[in-house]
């Protein structure tokens, strides 16, 4: 049953990731990968909230945490886009991508954790 929940979550998260990335990217005129940053921060916030709500080991964690957030967020695209920025000669964007993505992801996870922990614990 857990595998089915992960698959269902992934079936929702992957297309949503694509659509959000494209929607955000179409609204910016920059080489900076705003779409990837957006989906990764949203995924971090959701995952932090799940952990804060003490959902570890529950079917909700398999469905939303592993399936949905796993498909929504993307470390490989983050890595690829950072390397592409370096190769394109915009090293400051590459550095900003790394610093902002890591800091915003951690902050979003902490915010989600604190918010859910306050509500449910």
Burial code (b: 16+ CB inside 10 Å, e: under 16) for 68-103 equals bbbbbbbeebbeebbeebeeeebeebbeebeeebee
Q: Residue 25 annotated as binding? A: no
Q: Which runs of consecutive H residues, i.e. helices, occur in the chain? A: 2-26, 34-52, 59-60, 70-72, 75-87, 91-120
Supply the DSSP symbol for 67: I
Tokens linked to 12: 């929702």
Q: Residue 66 annotated as binding? A: no
Separation CA 14–CA 19 (nearest Å): 9
Binding residues for Na(+): 70, 73
Binding site as annotated, residues: 70, 73
């Amino acid at each position: 049953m857990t595998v089915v929940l992960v698959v269902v979550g992934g079936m929702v998260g992957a297309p949503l990731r694509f659509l959000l990335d494209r929607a955000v990217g179409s609204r910016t005129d920059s080489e900076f990968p705003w779409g990837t940053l957006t989906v990764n921060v949203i995924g971090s916030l959701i995952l932090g909230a799940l952990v804060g709500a003490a959902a570890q080991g529950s079917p909700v964690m398999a469905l939303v945490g592993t399936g949905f957030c796993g498909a929504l967020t993307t470390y490989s695209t983050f890595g690829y886009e950072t390397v592409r920025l370096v190769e394109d000669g915009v090293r400051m964007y590459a550095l900003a991508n790394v610093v902002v993505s890591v800091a915003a992801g951690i902050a979003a996870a902490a915010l989600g954790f604190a918010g859910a922990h306050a509500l449910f614990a």
